A = this chain, B = another copy of it.
């Protein structure tokens, strides 16, 4: 059913290393890239070898890149966080699934062949208990997740003998203040904790998911692996096709990064695509169903109100968010307020039970340069701010979704308004695309906007693939989208001065200048492609490339200059 049982992620010249926690019994997996020596020739013509320190980089590939861990996707990856909850008295294991739909699917024998083989009984908070990271943070408790991300964020900085400001307690404070979240559903113990907040590394989200028109479970898992490999920090499953429930289970059980969903999509599938038939009850059951599977954050378009829809009438491209258009239609049909808004407090009750974070969706994000920063967009944003307070009252972790299509000169305003309207909650934007005129290249139009808004403080950027506006991405599109966004995120990390962010750039540039080609490729975001391009055109001895040829290699000339100078 689901393709190869064993799937691996390989990085060249890399080793999986684990950095232990000091407060908690945790092991933070990182990737160590080993480098070759620098070789020079001394005055006597003897070769001199000088060591280059390995570079340790952030690693989203989880156990897939550790050859010591057996991988069988029919069993799922190790549940590393399971033992962390053991100590917590606030959690109980349920005898059966709480959602009607979940039980129905489990009872259906026809689904046997596509069901994930092992059922894990869900966990939830005990009655009256709060178990969210925000709650603990406010109680001044440093959870294992907090220490984990503190170690993970610091990368190379300690190798340099420097201390980073990112300590476990710093992480705790940021979460307590609502300026950062750790999406970590207690039912997704396979996920390695990561943090989303403006004072941390910029994260990228990748989307996968089938639609009515495409792709089965095996294909989705392959795309997911592709995302972990290239550096996707979180994974949203936007499936709208068949067997969403079962597909999601497979992915989550093999997913080392937090997973997000837009529950209204599945709710709509449950009523066969008929918006009129959507109801709070169906939606509520969907939240519980997904929360017990382990979804770490939900996109919920609760900030879109009846009065806002009117504001879109003068737009060029109306409502381009799927969730936003669904809820608008529902409000129009029923002439009632958005049930996600009216039931938001109950939604938070459910979320806190599993520590699911909420990503408040911007149903009115602009779909064109023309519509950017208009009244509809900002009206909704302020409602999103109001809902942030509602969620925080229950210690539910919050991020805020943002646009969309925005010209560069209007990007900073988005960031400032969002921080003001939403009390400093983390911003999570889709791009934004800085022009409308390049379908087929929207990973680039949006990487420009994403880099710029991330530098201004957006904590996570949602990738866009070259197929945006045109069709569903394939594996190669996923790769191109992820790398474009890793570039945008890293460019922002450099600009923000994230501790140690530049270590990798320096190591790569040093390798480049010393013609250590292999090291240059191994340190790059996509070693395979760099190597491929080099080989395609290479007829050189390694002391130059075909771009300039031997006589015109500036670095070769420049090196000879320095060599002479020091002799």
Contact = CB atoms under 8 A, between A and B. Distances in A.
Given A512-B469, A549-B212, A437 B370 contact: no
Interface string A364-383: 00011110000000000000
Contacts of A319: 554, 557-558, 561
A439 B211 contact: no
Interface residues of A, number: 116
Contacts of A520: 439, 469
Nearest to A455: B408
A216 to B, nearest CB: 15
A526 B438 contact: yes
B316 A524 contact: no
A321 interface: yes
Interface in A527-552: 529-530, 532-534, 536-540, 545-552
A536 B316 CA distance: 28
B555 A470 contact: no
Nearest to A562: B318
Contact of A441 (B324, B452, B529, B540): B529
B565 A448 contact: no
A269 B312 CA distance: 63
Contacts of A332: 561, 564
Counted per complex, copies of this chain come to 2
A435 B507 CA distance: 12
Interface string A143-186: 00000000000000000000000000000000000000000000
Given A497-B409, A555-B317, A506 B549 contact: no
Top 7 closest A-B pairs, CB basis? A471-B537, A368-B509, A318-B558, A273-B551, A325-B557, A408-B495, A434-B491
Contact of A455 (B409, B512, B533, B561): B409
Contacts of A488: 448
A426 interface: no
A76 interface: no
Nearest to A528: B440
Nearest to A545: B471
A557 B268 contact: no
Given A370-B506, A448-B447, A547-B211, A494 B439 contact: no
Nearest to A523: B437
Nearest to A467: B533
B546 A472 contact: yes
Contact of A436 (B471, B505, B555): B505
B325 A554 contact: yes
Given A467-B533, A510-B316, A437 B524 contact: yes
| Most chain B CB within a 10 A radius of its CB, from A318, A452, A545, A547 | A547
A529 to B, nearest CB: 4
Interface in A41-71: none
